[in-house]
Amino acid sequence: MPSCPALIIDGVCKRFGALRALDEVSFEVEQGEFFGLLGPNGAGKTTLISCMAGLARQDSGHIRVMEHDTVSDYRAARRKLGVVPQELVFDPFFTVRETLRIQSGYFGLGRNDDWMDEILARLDLTAKADVNMRALSGGMKRRVLVAQALVHRPPVIVLDEPTAGVDVELRKGLWVFIRELNRQGHTIVLTTHYLEEAESLCSRIAMLKQGRVVALERTADLLARRVQQTLRLRLGNGASLPAEFLAIARATPDGRIELLLDSADTVADCVARLHAHGVRFDDIELDKPDLEDVFMATMQDVPA
């Protein structure tokens, strides 16, 4: 059986009054992907996640989670989805374990303690299991939110800024755990403002700006194509730059020369041409763009 996409988002629009929070958003996420949903504040990421989860209803368009429409077949769709909300919410009446037991019950699961113990251990919460939610630190509350989203072993896991306020060590631990879930076949959709995180984790990325998808590509392709590569040279003594390179060159304060190249493919060609002119260099380095450069460039390119 060919596997269905984990997530289909098809022409989704959502307005709040005059504001178009989502404007014809369409993309698909395949099963087993680690997918990044990026965008500046107010881009519509949380709104889109709310529509997926049935916390909000889109004005038009359709969303399917593992083939189940989130409106007409909402119960099946919700069973397949685990959401870590962006807001740090908790129920002050209960302990961590009660919180998880209750959440598990809501999904129709009776005895689920083994899995809950494992989640608690993986999120380093075992020692806090019988502590009231009120008595946890912010980072711990955030981890309980992650635990709650995983309690029914959803095939699709959506994390809306799960690492905001979580310390470095736990952030690493969390990613090891989420990666492991991803390897086991869970589809992950991640929203984060830590772009290094997205760069190292996500195999594909969608960027939203003002409710529209402005980029949708494999992370590697985005990094390779979207932004100019910078080739930085220190010319050997006496050498000067051939005229044909002047248009793309600029000097740095420390006496080096930077060549701005359109893509990674042209780097080798450029070096070969310099050699052909007999130019020698003492030092050469390629400044790889990171996701932050791509992000900034993408957001500037797109007219507001």
Partner 1 sequence: MSVALRTLLYKELLRFWKVSFQTVAAPVLTALLYLLVFAHVLDRQVEVYGGVSYTAFLVPGLVMMSLLQNAFSNSSSSLIQSKVTGNIVFVLLPPISYREFFTAYVVAAVIRGLVVGAGVWLVTLWFVDLPYAQPAWILFFALTGGALLATLGIIAGIWADKFDQLAAFQNFVVMPLTFLSGVFYSIHSLPDFWQAVSHLNPFFYMIDGFRYGFFGQSDVSPWISALVAGGSFAVLAGITLSMLSRGYKLRN
- Which residue of 7, 25, 39, 235 would you call a contact of ligand ATP, by CB under 6 A? 39
C-beta separation of 96 from 77 below 8 A: no
- Which residue of 3, 19, 167, 172 would you call a contact of ligand ATP, by CB under 6 A? 19
Binding of residue 44 to ligand ATP (CB under 6 A)? yes
Binding of residue 142 to ligand ATP (CB under 6 A)? no
Stretch that binds ligand ATP, among 35-43, 64-72, 178-186, 212-220 (CB under 6 A): 35-43
Q: What is the crossing angle of helices 96-106 and 138-150, to 10°?
A: 30
Q: Taking CB within 5 to 8 Å according to partner kind, which of partner 1, Mg ion, ligand ATP, none is near residue 53?
A: partner 1
Query: Which 3 state secondary structure label does DSSP give 160?
Result: strand
Binding of residue 207 to ligand ATP (CB under 6 A)? no
Q: Taking CB within 5 to 8 Å according to partner kind, which of Mg ion, partner 1, ligand ATP, none is near residue 106?
A: partner 1
C-beta separation of 257 from 232 below 8 A: yes
User: Other C-beta atoms within 10 Å of 260: how many?
Assistant: 13
Token readout for 166 is 């979580």
Nearer to ligand ATP by C-beta: 161 or 293?
A: 161
Nearer to partner 1 by C-beta: 103 or 229?
A: 103
Sheet holding 257-261, edge to edge: 249-251, 257-261, 229-235, 281-287
Residue 20 CB, shortest distance to ligand ATP, in Å, is: 9
- Which residue of 25, 35, 45, 112 would you call a contact of ligand ATP, by CB under 6 A? 45
Handedness of CA 180, 29, 227, 214 (dihedral sign): negative
Phi, psi of 103 (to 5 degrees): -60, -40
- Strand locations in 30-80 (E): 34-38, 60-65, 68-69
Binding of residue 12 to partner 1 (CB under 8 A)? no
Binding site for ligand ATP (CB under 6 A): 16, 19, 21, 39, 41-47, 86
Residues lying near partner 1 in the complex (CB under 8 A) are found at 53-57, 74-76, 78-79, 81, 83, 85, 87, 89-94, 98, 102-110, 148, 152
